[in-house]
Amino acid sequence: MYIDLNDKITRFLVQEYVNKICYYSSKKELNWNIHKLIHTFSVADMAQKLINETKPALSKELQKQILNSAILHDVGRCYEFKNGEKVHLDHGQVGAELIKKHFPEMTVEANSTLYHNKCPSDKDPKSCQTVLNYVRDADILGNIKYEIEKTDIWLSHIIGDNKEAFRHSSIDREILSAVKEQRPANLKNMNINKILTSWLWQLCWYYNLRTKAAFKIALKEKLFFRLRDTICQKIVPLTTKNKKKQKELIQKIQKTFADELFS
C-alpha cells in the first residue's frame, strides 16, 4: 500500500510518530517508534488483504472503518516512552482518547482501538465487533508477516543488546498447555520478555483468529508455518550455543507445532 499523506487519518498517525522519532531521548525509543510505524502499515496492508478476501460481504462504510482502525490502532504506542525509558500504559486507551480528541465523529474507530489490545471476550462492544475482529486479525497476521520477513532488523530494533532475553531455551508450560487445549495462550502465565517464549506465543495466536478471511490468508501465505520455521532457524540458535540442545529444541518445536495444526 502506498502511504498517502493526503488521507487525514494517515497524516495524523505519521505526524504523531515522526514527532516522536525526530525528538527521541534514547536509542531504544527511536528504534521502538520506527518499528511501530512500520508495523502499523504492515497491519494496514493486511487489513486491506482481509477486506479483499471478504468483499463484497463488507459494506463500503465497514471497509473504511476497518482500514482507518488498522492505521490508528497503535497510535497510542508512540506515547510508551518517558525520558527515553519504556513506561507501562494501556496503549489502546491512549489511542482511543487521541482519536476522540482529533476525530470525535469516529466512534467505531475509537472503540475498536480501545479494545484491540484486550483479549476477545463477552465485554467486546457489539457496536464495533466486526471492525474489531478484522483489526485484531490484521494485527496478528501483519505482525507475523513483518517479523518473519524482517527478522534480523526486528531483533536489532526490539531486542538490541538485551542479553537476558536470549538466555532461555525451553518451551514455556503455558504454551504447551495452550496447544494441547487448542486455545490462545494466557499472557499472564508466561514471561514474554524471553525471546523464545515471545515468538512461540505468536504461534498460539492462530487460536485468536476470528475471521474466515484471516484463516484463508494465513494458509495461502503459510504465515504460521513460516513463523515456526523462522523460530527454528533464527531464534533457537540465539538461545543456546550447544548444538545438541538446539537440535532437541527444534525437534520439540516441530512436534508441538506440527503442520496439521495450521492446516
In the complex, what is the shortest distance from the CB of residue 137 to Fe ion, in angstroms, rounded to a whole number? Answer: 11
Does residue 80 touch Fe ion according to CB under 5 A? Answer: no
Residue 158's closest CA among 30, 19, 2, 49?
30
With respect to Fe ion, which residue has the nearer C-beta, 217 or 249? 217
Q: Which stretch binds Fe ion (CB under 5 A): 52-60, 70-78, 172-180, 226-234?
A: 70-78
Nearer to Fe ion, 74 or 174 (CB): 74
For Fe ion, the binding residues in 142-201 under the rule CB under 5 A are none
Decide if residue 74 touches Fe ion (CB under 5 A).
yes
Closer residue to Fe ion in complex, CB, 139/174: 139
In angstroms, give the least distance from the CB of 43 to Fe ion: 5
- Pick one of 80, 139, 147, 174: the residue that binds Fe ion (CB under 5 A): 139
Considering beta carbons, is residue 168 or 210 the nearer one to Fe ion? 210
Q: How many CA atoms lie within 13 A of 13 on its CB side?
A: 28
- b or e along 108-142 (b: 16 or more beta carbons within 10 Å of the residue's beta carbon)? bbbbbbbbbbeeeeeebeeebebbbbbbbbbbbbb
What is the number of residues in the chain?
263
Which of helix, strand or coil describes residue 3?
A: coil
**C-beta contacts of 151-157 below 8 A and 24+ residues apart:** 151/230, 151/234, 152/234, 154/35, 155/234, 155/238, 156/31, 157/31, 157/32, 157/34, 157/35
| Least distance from Fe ion to the Cβ atom of residue 70, Å | 9
Under rule CB under 5 A, which residues in 2-61 are in contact with Fe ion? none
Q: Which CB, 44 or 179, lies closer to Fe ion?
A: 44
> CA-to-CA distance for 215 and 250, rounded, in angstroms?
25
Residue 109 lies near Fe ion (rule: CB under 5 A): no
Return residues touching Fe ion (CB under 5 A): 74, 139
